[in-house]
């Protein structure tokens, strides 16, 4: 068994399969999640549980966080029984959530004051890549801390790359998700346009996926459109959050503005569905 004791906070669509990779790799994993029903599968695999972030960090050396947004990070660190309510000297905290560079910089400073290290390490990839350990991990923070936890990250993803100081991972992720939004809207608009001119979705996507502009994303989301399957691998409301985070640090290009307007308009009706459900909004 790997001797490093890992704490895991956040068991959403991505968090569960990511944490499972570490249990499968024979790490001792302690999990914390607000919704206790989501802990069941990992407990069956051998993970143990903590009742609070405070309890979790006391029992572990490396803590991984995978939650929805800045507000959740604030609560995990500064809540009544949060991480900062415990002695954290010598710990390494890895935040794999898609959050703002600003909150990473804030938490990194506070961790450093307490003798701990903080890494921002968001991921590129969706649920399938999480389930197969093929995520791409982009990291900001101290180089020595990164090297120490790199073997752990490489169990979760196929590559882990340090890009610079605190916040660099967050910036890279927001850039990638901005492109994701453009891909999504472009694919949706292309299918709608072709349909309006009498081309079947299946025929169009067969051409796309065998041509020069084929990629994994258009294949996965094209299949979802054909199957009328909008179960959220990545909820539409989250791309709105990410585009707004990117806008806050300077993203101001014509396509990005258009994508944000489109996804914001679609959120009221389709926010809980997968981001490719924007095609339904475009059709309307």
- Tens digit of pLDDT for each residue in 210-234? 999 999 999 999 999 999 999 999 9
Residue ranges of domains in the chain: 2-165, 171-283
Tokens 């701990």 sit on residue? 116
> pLDDT tens for residues 153-179?
999 999 999 999 999 999 999 999 999
- Give the per-residue pLDDT at 2: 83
Residues with a known catalytic role = 173
Cβ atoms of 96 and 170 closer than 8 Å: no
DSSP codes of every residue in 55-113: HHHHT-SEEEE--SSHHHHHHHHHSTTSGGGS--TT-EEEE-S---HHHHHHHHHHHHH
Q: What percent of the chain has pLDDT over 70?
A: 100
The whole-model pTM stands at: 0.95
Average pLDDT of 37-61? 96
pLDDT tens for each residue of 82-122:
999 999 999 999 999 999 999 999 999 999 999 999 999 99
Report pLDDT digits (tens) over 15-31: 999 999 999 999 999 99
| CATH class of residue range 2-165 | alpha beta
Helix boundaries (H) for the chain: 15-24, 40-45, 53-58, 70-78, 101-113, 127-131, 143-156, 168-196, 201-208, 216-226, 236-248, 254-270, 278-283
CATH architecture of 171-283: Orthogonal Bundle (1.10)
């Amino acid at each position: 068994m790997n001797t490093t004791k890992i704490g895991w906070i956040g068991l959403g669509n991505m968090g569960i399969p990511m944490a499972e990779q570490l249990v499968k790799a024979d790490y001792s994993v302690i999990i914390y999640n607000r919704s206790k029903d989501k802990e069941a599968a990992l407990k069956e695999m051998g993970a143990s549980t903590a009742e609070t972030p405070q309890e979790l960090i006391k029992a572990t050396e490396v803590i991984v966080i995978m939650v929805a947004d800045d507000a959740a990070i604030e609560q995990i660190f500064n809540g009544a029984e949060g991480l900062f309510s415990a002695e954290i000297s010598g710990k390494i905290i890895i935040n794999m959530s898609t959050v703002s560079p600003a909150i990473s910089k804030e938490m990194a400073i506070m961790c450093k004051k307490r003798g701990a290290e903080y890494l921002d390490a968001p991921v590129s990839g969706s649920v399938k890549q999480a389930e197969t350990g093929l995520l791409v991990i982009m990291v900001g923070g101290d180089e020595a801390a990164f090297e120490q936890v790199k073997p752990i990250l490489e169990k979760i993803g196929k590559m882990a790359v340090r890009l610079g100081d605190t916040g660099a991972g967050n910036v890279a992720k927001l850039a990638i998700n901005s492109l994701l939004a453009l891909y999504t809207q472009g694919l949706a608009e292309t299918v709608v346009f072709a349909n309006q001119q009498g081309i079947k979705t299946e025929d169009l996507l067969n051409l796309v996926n065998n041509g020069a502009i084929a990629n994994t994303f258009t294949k996965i989301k094209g299949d979802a459109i054909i199957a009328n399957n909008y179960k959220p691998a990545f909820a539409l409301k989250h791309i709105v959050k990410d585009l707004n985070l990117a806008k806050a640090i300077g993203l101001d290009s014509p396509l990005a503005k258009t994508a944000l307007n489109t996804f914001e308009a679609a959120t009221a009706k389709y926010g809980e569905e997968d981001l490719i459900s924007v095609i339904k909004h475009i059709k309307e």
